[in-house]
Amino acid sequence: MRHNRSIGVKVVFLGLLVLLLFGNYSCEASLPKISNLDYTQTTPINSKRLVVLESDFFEDVLALGIIPAGAPKKNVSYLQQIQGISPMTWQNIQETGAPWLPVNLENILAMKPDMILTSKSRQEIYPLLSKIAPTILIDPKSDYPDWKTVFYLVADALNKKDKAVEILTDYQTRLQKFRKDMGTRLALTQVSIVYLKTEGSIFLFNKEFFGGKIVEKIGLSRPPSQTVDKTIIAKMFPGYGSIYLISWEKFSDADGDVMFVVSDDIRKGNTAWEQIRTQPLWSKLKVVQQHKVHQVNLYWFGSGPIAANQVLNDLEKYVLYQNRSIN
């Protein structure tokens, strides 16, 4: 009887934990499922040479403490520094190529994987991939899935669900603490997010992209110019959904109580960052005059728990504790 009661308590606890982490999902059974089209294959319980074909899955794998044999690492190089991965270890992760390009099967074969992890978008080449190694296709059931759901699915595929629950619980605790510590300032603080291209183009983000979703989820507000629906943006700027270009004359739309400037040229001489600070309209922004502009790295474009926690670090440092910057 005592043993049964202990099991019952554990089951109830797990159910409550999943409800806490995933909101609309009442239990693990209702989460999107891993899709393996060839159910006769078995995947390694502990893969030694995992090859990952998606950038967001690569971040999830690293967060779970796994260094893959191959991954699309070129566009997420910031992960190396954040995770403290040595140059030699990073170099040993072979490049699989950009996720939006066709898979080079010969390249994958040469990596000698014992497991391949990819998305259901690769369904057409599944028969070829599965001849190289047991292949798992993950299907989040959405074009814009919540990163926590995808992370949990990746962890499930790699037999790391307990580790994922631990990471997600810690993240949720950080969100709750931030809200509590902000108090009445939370909803009154407008966070502007600007993206600078190296050629000097200025983009504003709406709430749909990774960093924007975190800012919204935590309860902070955004300037009106950055709450435009993605369908409207797509009509105004074909090919765009969560980001749109503005002219220097419209730069006042980027003003807010705090501004995060996401730049892809931090390691390239900061030419865009220097250019924007010499513009006459720059000094007229309230956020500039109050020294609340902060340059951040590309993890604001991230896709998993590593980047999410880095974004939270920025929000704590510059919004909660209001550290000043030099503009």
Domain match, 159 and 231 both: no
Q: Does residue 99 lie in a domain region?
A: yes
pLDDT score, position 42: 54
Domain match, 187 and 315 both: yes
CA distances in angstroms from 150 to 171, 223, 248, 255, listed in the order given: 15, 29, 37, 33
The rounded distance, in Å, linking the Cα atoms of 58 and 61 is 5
Q: Which of 144, 168, 192 is the last residue of a domain?
A: 168
pLDDT score, position 90: 96
pLDDT score, position 200: 65
Domain match, 130 and 228 both: no
Domain match, 226 and 309 both: yes
Instruction: Report the number of distinct structural domains present in the chain.
Output: 2
Q: Does residue 7 lie in a domain region?
A: no
Domain match, 255 and 286 both: yes
> Which range marks the domain in which residue 25 is found?
19-168
Q: Does residue 327 lie in a domain region?
A: no
Domain match, 123 and 250 both: no
Domain match, 122 and 221 both: no
Domain match, 113 and 198 both: no
pLDDT score, position 233: 53
Domain match, 23 and 163 both: yes
The rounded distance, in Å, linking the Cα atoms of 70 and 133 is 13
Alpha carbon 22 to its chain centroid, in Å, reads 16
Domain match, 200 and 73 both: no
pLDDT score, position 29: 37
Angle at CA of residue 229, ends 237 and 139, nearest 5°: 90
Q: Does residue 13 lie in a domain region?
A: no
pLDDT score, position 320: 95
Per-residue pLDDT of the chain (327 residues; tens, 9 = 90+): 544 444 443 443 344 344 444 443 333 333 344 554 443 345 666 789 999 999 889 999 999 999 999 999 988 888 998 999 999 999 999 999 888 888 999 999 999 999 999 988 888 899 999 999 999 988 877 666 789 989 998 998 898 989 999 999 999 999 999 999 999 999 999 999 998 876 667 888 777 789 999 999 999 999 988 877 666 555 555 445 567 677 778 888 889 999 999 876 555 556 677 777 788 888 899 999 999 999 898 899 899 999 999 999 999 999 999 876 655
Domain match, 223 and 187 both: yes
Q: Which of 119, 141, 168 is the last residue of a domain?
A: 168
For residue 279, the 8-state DSSP code is S
Domain of residue 41, CATH code: 3.40.50.1980
Helix (H) / strand (E) containing 153 = helix 147-157
Domain match, 158 and 197 both: no
| Among the listed residues 205, 204, 200, the one whose alpha carbon sits nearest the alpha carbon of residue 273 | 200
Q: Does residue 5 lie in a domain region?
A: no
Measured between its terminal Cα atoms, the distance across the chain in Å is 66
